Structure 1
Amino acid sequence: MLFSAATLIAVPEIAAAQPATPQAAPANADAVTRADASYRRGLRLYSDKKYVEAEAELQSAWELNPTFDVAYNLGNTKYQLKKYREAAEHLSFALRNWPLVKTVAKLKPTAEQRLAESRAQVGALRVTVSAAGAEVLVDGKAVGRAPLEGEVFVEPGEHRVEARLEGYAPVSQTVKSAKGETTDAGLAMVPVKSEAQVAGAMAEGGMGAAGVGVGGPVVEQLPPGPVEPPPKKNWGPVIALGAASAVALGVGIGTTVASNNASADGRAQADAILKAGGGCPDAPAAYSQACSDLRSTASRVDTFAHAATVAYTASGVLAIAAVTYALWPRSGAKASGKVRVLPETHVGYRGIVVQGAW
């Protein structure tokens, strides 16, 4: 091969380097021969500053035989055409695989300088994938397999990074790159189970068929997350019902005391009439007023007694309502029993019976 200007080199003794992108290695000697011919034409075209034509020839040589010297010269050509992303890709590859040969050592600073200038115009992605061997794609284009060697150069802006590997669920991430900056993109891949594996697990563990997908792999189930606690109960109604029950109970006690006092007054009035030798049935005129007062007192006793019964009943109903509300399962909780409120009447008293279980 021929040397051109100081920025162009040809090193036939250097072994073929690994490609920067997933390309097939040369299949045979014929491919290497054709790559060498394209490479020589590309050097002559570059020397004549015919960069577009040189790019086509060097690109052909790269696809046939992606080696260090081709990467270096193709990177320089891309740099001249201001295709900085591609220039950075090829110059970076050349520097990673720079040979320990004195004849080309003087060209390394040029490669480093042009790589730095190209990188300043584009963004870079540092992609890491948890599963080795996964195919990595950027904006739908394959850029290699994990772990990637070096950075992936991209135009500034948003980019979608993906990773695919058989036996794992595909994973993707959207990242934003800026000029001259390196952005990290980490992809964690999750193993999947095939239908045969799922069927075997079901047969061994007696699992049900619910949730098993048809026609594709099933992603391994993760343990259920924490259950949200039920909402807090509003104790305002309990307090209000309890307070109302206490008020009704107080009224009941007050009317009971009033009824008892009226009953005592009635007994005193009756005793006074009896001691005077009178009686209210067919009472003479002298006892008509006393008998009228006695009847009025008896009426008050009955009124207070009824009022007390109503107050006690209301107090009981309100207390039952407060207890029922307090013990009733909160929203989202399963009720553990039923509550029934039934009226009950017996000789001598009336009331309400609460039956239930919690």
Structure 2
Amino acid sequence: MLAAIGLSAALALGVAPGIAFSDDVDTLFEQGTTALKKGDAKTAYEKLSAAWQSRQSVDIAANLAIAEKRLGKNREAAEHLAYAIAYFPPSGEPSARKEMETMLAELKKGLCELRIKTEEGATVHIDDKPVGLAPINLPVYLEPGKHNFAAEKGSSKGSVTLHFQAGDSNNVVITMTITQSSAAPSATASAPPTATGTATNGPPPDEPPPKWPGFVIGGLGFVGVAIGGGLMGASAAASTEAEDMAAGLSRCPTESPTGACGELADKVDSENTLHNAGLGTVVAGSVLLATGVALIIWSYSADDAPADEQPAATGRFIPLADPTFMGLSYEATF
């Protein structure tokens, strides 16, 4: 048996002379190996596990693996054997190493041997149980089936779930990615400020239309009508003068008139110019005046109407013409 070929002696496995266990660890180790020789695997497991928690060494790992194998803890036994073999000292007994390798090979037939690969310094978990910090130098042994592997380092995380069969030997690569997570508010965080004032539902009501555009446009229109009326009045006076002048003349040439005929021609031209200018100014002024009046009526009617019932102003221009007059009429609804 492995326990009977010197694993209980520190020097037999090549632990450097001068590096001694503490009294507690040394006592636990001695009690564990004694129980193991007597066939009391349960007591040996308890004592050697306690020693292993305080100090990881080749001889503790090897003897603990024997106790675990007898208790059916094959996964734990394989991991402790892998540790003992990996760090077996050159001065140790070759036969002891050979026996551990044989025992590990037998255990691996019913387990999965996995090597974890991920970002250095990441904390590794297998099935939500911590394994250690990467790099994980030694193989990890698991029971056959589905297992989850996770790694975390700062804001980088990664996980993968794989299924293995007995006897598998694989590398498990955990790819890390940076995750953005919102920090949860702490219990001591201050409460959000309380809003004050009157709550309103929906968007704020529309502002009533301003009144000044209607007055400005209407005022310009009124001035335009007045000017146009003055021009047309001047045109009428010129027409009267032309008629009086024409009454005193019997006949005038149509081309290059001179004298009294020339004055009559100038008067007729002045009449036509004043008439056309006045008519155009009156039409433009009427349009502006009607638009201003429409805007004024609309702005005042909107003051008293609810926001969703405010009247919509519409309008159109209607041309007017007869043999003696031309103009526009503006029709509006409110």
Name the TM-score, length of structure 1 as normaliser. 0.47
Please tell me whether Structure 1 or Structure 2 has the larger radius of gyration of its CA atoms: 2
Name the TM-score, length of structure 2 as normaliser. 0.50
